[in-house]
Amino acid sequence: MVSDTQGGSGGLSFRLGSIPVSMPWSAALGIGLVAFLWLDTFQRYASTDTEGYLLAGAFALLFYVSILVHELAHAWVARASGNPVHGITLWGLGGYTSFERRRSTPWREGLIAAAGPAITIVLGLVLRAVADSADSLDIRLWVLISALAVSNIYLGIFNALPGLPLDGGAVVRCLIWGVTKDEAKGTVVAAWSGRIVAVLAFLWFLRPVLSGGKVVVGGIVLGAFISAWMFSGANAALKSARVTGRIPGISARSLARRSVAVGADVPLSEALRQAQEAQATGLVVVDAAGRPTAVAQQAAVAAVPVERRPWVPVSSVSAALDPRAALSADLSGMELLQAMQQVPASHYLVVEPGGALVGVLVTADVESALSGSQQR
């Protein structure tokens, strides 16, 4: 799987060339679970119980090596497409590759997503061919190779299913994105597809119950866990698409709170009177030269009792303003978000191209606008 955000750290960490690889402690649980699920298979061909445990453990470790190969395919194609790779994380349910979207186009991201399942299926077919062509292999080694072949083929097919957060879902997203020229629409379609795939996957795990066969509780629990993870991932993708779809509609001018400039020693009551007269909701504190230095904090202003406001200077309820936190009123969409990312702050001055003050942009207002719960 792929991600455009940087992965976390913890547990075991190492590097493959210039690519950092991390394995949080959940990966150990995943390896143990894989070994447990395949233990019965290896016990049937082992001469002792200890040998069966060793074979199951070796298989689980090699299976995670296969997952690493899967993620390396994502990483190599991402890098070849001009996107810097931050790292690979292997965790309890598989892994993901984090990369920076510098050259983002539907076909590039589609290739990145398709590379993982493709290499996994190819690896499984190669292992299957090795097992079928080796007549003199020890039966235990043959079973180990065969198990790796089957597991890789199934893993590749599973990852190719057409729904987010699976790689196949990412390919669907890119196809819709390429046809409609709308990335958010592609994500919505792939996320809804992911919800459907999650439900169908759970029904597949339930098939022994539905057909009246032998009930395997472990398989049902595992299926419920995987399906819940898939449904949760699809929901997260859908939420992300909604946010992405709102980005073009935001602008510094429309979100800025109209503000008035006042001196630092001006009483709060007088500053509020000036703001009310100008039909403004923000107060910008300026120095003797007229340079903005601070912004009044709404919560701090509201906390001052009305009878005390004539004796409280506006500077005492204000927070210092980063002199770099100034935005052009003409900024909108992704350009606005990128400008805010360059200078992270809670408040920004919004100014006309000529330097005239438009108002104050509050980061929380931008977040509310993107989440669809704008409150001013």
| Residues 199 and 54 reside in one and the same domain | yes
d(CA 215, CA 208): 6
Which one, of 236, 211, 316, lies nearest residue 269 by Cα? 316
Angle between helices 167-180 and 106-133 (to 10 degrees): 150
**Beta pairing, strands 357-362 & 347-351:** antiparallel
d(CA 194, CA 163): 4
| Residues 73 and 221 reside in one and the same domain | yes
Q: Give the residue-averaged pLDDT of 312-319.
A: 94
| Residues 147 and 229 reside in one and the same domain | yes
Torsion of CA 173, 175, 179, 183, to 10 degrees: 20
152-202: pLDDT as tens digits: 999 999 999 999 999 999 999 999 999 999 888 999 999 999 999 999 999
Q: Tokens for 253, please give them.
A: 């001018």
Last residue of a domain, one of 228, 248, 268: 248
What residue numbers bound the domain in which 300 lies?
252-371
Which one, of 210, 200, 206, lies nearest residue 230 by Cα? 200
| Residues 209 and 282 reside in one and the same domain | no
Q: What pLDDT is recorded for position 8? A: 47
Last residue of a domain, one of 188, 217, 248: 248
Q: What pLDDT is recorded for position 265? A: 94
| Residues 269 and 131 reside in one and the same domain | no
> Measuring CA to CA, how many Å separate 194 from each of 71, 166, 197, 231, 239?
20, 8, 5, 7, 13
| Residues 265 and 291 reside in one and the same domain | yes
In this predicted structure, the answer to whether residue 104 has a pLDDT above a threshold of 90 is: no
Last residue of a domain, one of 221, 248, 275: 248
| Spacing of C-alpha 177 from chain mean position | 18
Q: What pLDDT is recorded for position 151? A: 96
Residue 335 lies in a domain: yes
Torsion of CA 233, 238, 241, 246, to 10 degrees: -140
| Residues 226 and 307 reside in one and the same domain | no
Scan for tokens 């190819």, then name that residue: 122
Residue 342 lies in a domain: yes
From the CA atom positions of the chain, what is the Rg in Å?
28
56-100: pLDDT as tens digits: 999 999 999 999 999 999 999 999 999 999 999 998 878 999 998
Residue 155 lies in a domain: yes
| Residues 296 and 214 reside in one and the same domain | no
108-152: pLDDT as tens digits: 999 999 999 999 999 999 999 999 987 777 899 999 999 999 999
| Residues 265 and 188 reside in one and the same domain | no
- Looking at the 3D structure of the chain, how many domains does it have? 2
Q: Residue 190 is which amino acid? A: A
| Residues 265 and 222 reside in one and the same domain | no
The rounded mean pLDDT for the chain is: 91
CATH number of residue 272's parent domain:
3.10.580.10
Which one, of 239, 205, 209, lies nearest residue 222 by Cα? 205
| Residues 214 and 256 reside in one and the same domain | no
Residue 376 lies in a domain: no
**Beta pairing, strands 94-99 & 2-3:** parallel
| Residues 243 and 257 reside in one and the same domain | no
Q: How many CB atoms lie within 10 A of CB 279?
A: 8
